[in-house]
């Protein structure tokens, strides 16, 4: 996708032009992928631009940095406020926000500890990640030959750029073979997630999703969907799931900041259910979109309006 970027980028308390947000080729991140990041959607609502679950995304970014021993010069509240300011300064109604924290130009070598830590906040306008019609019609996917990393090799709970080298292999294989997306298995052969999405299955009225132990990123949208499913009276189980569950499920769908709630209509060319979004998927999708688009009650306080100040927690 081409980037319809926002002109101003936040860097250590100042806004700079997009073209000036550059990194030296000898920076640690280039050779060693020492980068943690987030993906956050800001939606257009009748009340103005609103960032979805800003606190939870900020918390996950800070936690990812903690795992990789990156000490940040800004508090969670300061980072959250800076993202609100990013939306205001760029005067956008909706956008995709990308905070990145990485080790910059300093020493060369695997040891990253003496390299400076850089923080940038950037944004761009981004459409539907898996295609314009994906939310309505569903997508065709495959089970990838590439597995997710074992938990004692790379921390899957950290949203690290290095993890997305694995994701790229999954995505490229799927596209090359005529699919929109791939689903990876964990090291034990159980269902894990897509290249950039969590996954849910519905069978006999119950909803299932892989546990974090299956090399799963703790998705913010994943958590939101589990909350909404229980609100709708559905039982949700986090458990290890055999690959064949994908073929016999009544419904399968992806969740993610970029993917939102995207139905899956076939896996490995085996039709899921009726080959179209099922009733549970549609109910969850409608409830989710009604909240983020400002049409429904935001009773969980998930939206942060950018025309109002961020209230620091005590």
Active site residues: 159
Q: Which of 116, 125, 87 has its CA nearest to residue 23?
A: 116
Q: Are strands 48-52 and 40-45 parallel, antiparallel or unpaired?
A: antiparallel
CB-CB contact of 65 with 36 (8 Å): yes
Nearest partner of 6 among 85, 108, 117, 119, judged by Cα: 85
- CA quadruple 79, 86, 195, 287: dihedral positive or negative? positive
**Helix/strand/coil percentages in the chain, nearest 5:** 30, 30, 45
State how far the Cα of 141 lies from the Cα of 65, in Å rounded to an integer: 32
Is 101:67 a contact under the CB 8 Å cutoff?
A: no
Instruction: Check if the beta carbon of residue 200 is closer than 8 Å to that of residue 245.
Output: no
CB atoms within 10 A of CB 245: 15
C-beta atoms surrounding 104 within 10 Å: 17
């Amino acid at each position: 996708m081409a980037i319809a970027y926002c002109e101003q980028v936040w860097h250590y308390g100042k806004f700079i032009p997009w073209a000036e947000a550059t990194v030296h080729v000898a920076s640690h991140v280039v050779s060693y992928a020492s980068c943690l990041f987030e993906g956050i959607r800001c939606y257009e609502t009748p009340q103005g631009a609103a960032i979805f679950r800003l606190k939870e995304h900020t918390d996950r970014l800070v936690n990812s940095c903690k795992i990789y021993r990156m000490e940040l010069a800004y508090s969670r509240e300061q980072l959250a406020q800076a993202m609100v300011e990013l939306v205001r300064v760029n005067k956008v109604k909706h956008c995709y926000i990308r905070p990145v924290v990485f080790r910059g130009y300093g020493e060369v070598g695997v040891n990253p500890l003496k390299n400076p830590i850089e923080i940038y906040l950037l944004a761009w306008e981004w459409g539907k990640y898996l295609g314009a019609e994906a939310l309505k019609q569903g997508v065709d996917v495959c089970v990838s030959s590439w597995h997710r990393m074992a938990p004692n090799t790379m921390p899957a709970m950290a949203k690290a750029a290095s993890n997305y080298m694995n994701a790229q292999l999954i995505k490229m294989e799927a596209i090359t073979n005529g699919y929109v997306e791939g689903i990876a298995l964990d090291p034990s052969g159980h269902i894990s997630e897509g290249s950039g999405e969590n996954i849910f299955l519905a069978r006999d009225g119950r909803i299932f999703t892989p546990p974090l132990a299956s090399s799963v990123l703790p998705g913010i949208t994943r958590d939101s969907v589990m909350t909404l499913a229980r609100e709708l009276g559905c039982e949700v189980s986090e458990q290890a799931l055999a690959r064949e569950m994908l073929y016999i499920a009544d419904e399968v769908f992806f969740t993610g900041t970029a993917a939102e709630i995207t139905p899956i209509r076939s896996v490995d060319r085996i039709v899921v259910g009726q080959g179209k979004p099922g009733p549970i998927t549609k109910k969850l999708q409608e409830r989710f979109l009604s909240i983020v688009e400002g049409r429904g009650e935001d009773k969980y306080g998930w939206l942060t309006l950018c025309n109002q100040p961020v209230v620091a927690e005590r």
